[in-house]
Amino acid sequence: MDPNNKANIEKALAAVCEKAHVKKKVLDNQAIPVIHIGMATCGIASGALETQSAFEETLAERNIEARIHPVGCIGHCYAEPVVIIENPGFPAILYHQVTPGKARMLVKSFLEQGDPLFEYLMGAMVENDMIPQVWDFPRFNMEKRLVMEKCGRVDPEEIDDYLVRGGYSALVKALQSSPEKIIEEVKAAGLRGRGGAGFPTGMKWELAAKAEAQEKTVICNADEGDPGAYMDRTILESNPHQVLEGIIICARAGRCAKGHCVCESGISSGCENGQPGHKPGQRKGAIGESDPGQPVQPGYRGFSGFRGLCVRRGNGADSIYRRPARHAHLPSSFSRSKGALGAPHSH
């Protein structure tokens, strides 16, 4: 690694993070209410769009200045539409099942008159002397979030939200490391696939890195073939930049030049969130080449699949070929040697 290039990588991230923090500070200093509305599939299906419209209309009618901040799923789909209101002088408060009618009442009673309407709230998001906090409830305090830590807190279409919470810092660390060191760290962490086989991720990446080819591809398998499966959808809808950061780190480790994200055809919002996410990252200039001839910003393509993952060993390759499930076939070789588009791929 060229020491000058290492410094340039750190400088590039520091610059974009500083701008993101300045932007957040300006917003925080406005001292106006902030209304966070869960706008993932679960929220929209429960009426979050109508709830948002009710907030906007009532705020305009009452001439109240407030900022509406769309976020992803906080992980409590049973309580949707979920709304968190930060009103100056009060702790951030979580409200559940916020219908358009409740939204109008919250604007009039809470934002205008200072009555938080205790009968409608679930709890406070921070420790305080006024309202019990949600973290005291078993549904909240018995879980430790890792992958979904930022879900429900960031605007999935706003890269600055991700940056101010440490987003892309892992990528910078990866760009400063060799592919071999990245793989060794993943091995040491014991990370495994979340499917039935639990295949060691470090071993999978190592096989892809050792495969010889002119061009290699990263495949993010976000297809949910099981009925009612919701894990991949939540990440794509609520924090797509986390997925993109992982794809690029995987590309660095496996020396891959392209990336594909394959998701189920029914997850339209997840694909839409994932698709534009890389463009702001490119405009920010935070990612690029770490060494001459070592691409780490893969050409990215996100699209909905055709149920091409009915054969597990295909791992997304069939969907890239646009093969429907009825045409499923067993791959001719191990995917780390010959997979998508005839080239080795990692995922």
* 194 and 339, same domain (yes or no): yes
* 179 and 87, same domain (yes or no): no
Query: Mind giving me the DSSP string for 32-100?
Result: --EEEEE-SHHHHHTTHHHHHHHHHHHHHHTT---EEEEE---S-GGGPSPEEEE-TTS--EEE-S--H
pLDDT at 335 over 70: no
The last residue of a domain, from among 143, 168, 202 = 143
* 191 and 321, same domain (yes or no): yes
Residue 195 lies in a domain: yes
CATH number of the domain within which 266 lies: 3.40.50.11540
Which position has the token pair 């009825």?
326
Residue 182 is predicted with a pLDDT of 96
* 201 and 281, same domain (yes or no): yes
Tell me which residue range forms the domain holding 292: 160-346
At 207, the pLDDT band (50, 70, 90 cuts) reads very high
Residue 272 is predicted with a pLDDT of 56
* 67 and 190, same domain (yes or no): no
Residue 9 lies in a domain: no
pLDDT at 306 over 50: no
62-98 burial, b at 16+ Cβ within 10 Å, e below that, comes to eeeebeebbbbbbbbbebbbbbbbbbeebbbbbbbbb
* 83 and 178, same domain (yes or no): no
How many domains would you assign to the chain?
A: 2
Residues 236-253 pLDDT 10s: 889 999 999 999 999 999
Residue 173 lies in a domain: yes
CA 344 to each of CA 19, 132, 224, 323, 338: distance values in angstroms, whole numbers, following the listed order: 38, 53, 23, 19, 5
The last residue of a domain, from among 90, 108, 143 = 143
* 241 and 319, same domain (yes or no): yes
Residue 235 is predicted with a pLDDT of 85
The last residue of a domain, from among 116, 143, 170 = 143
Q: Which residue has the higher pLDDT, 196 or 168?
A: 168
Residue 328 is predicted with a pLDDT of 45
pLDDT at 277 over 80: no
Residue 169 lies in a domain: yes
Percentage of residues in the chain with pLDDT exceeding 90? 41
Residue 308 is predicted with a pLDDT of 35
Residue 134 lies in a domain: yes
pLDDT at 10 over 60: yes
Neighbours of 2 (CB within 10 A): 10
Q: Quote the CA–CA distance of 22 and 344 in Å, as a whole number.
A: 42
pLDDT at 209 over 80: yes
* 177 and 66, same domain (yes or no): no
Which position has the token pair 């993070």?
17
Residue 151 lies in a domain: no
Q: Quote the CA–CA distance of 37 and 200 in Å, as a whole number.
A: 37
* 174 and 49, same domain (yes or no): no
CATH number of the domain within which 106 lies: 3.40.30.10
Residue 322 lies in a domain: yes
Residues 109-156 pLDDT 10s: 999 999 999 999 999 998 898 898 988 888 778 888 888 888 888 999
* 46 and 131, same domain (yes or no): yes
* 169 and 287, same domain (yes or no): yes
pLDDT at 299 over 70: no
* Tokens at 152, concatenated: 């429900």
* 139 and 190, same domain (yes or no): no
Q: Which residue has the higher pLDDT, 140 or 162?
A: 162
Residue 341 lies in a domain: yes
- Residue 112 CA, chain-centre distance (Å), reads 34
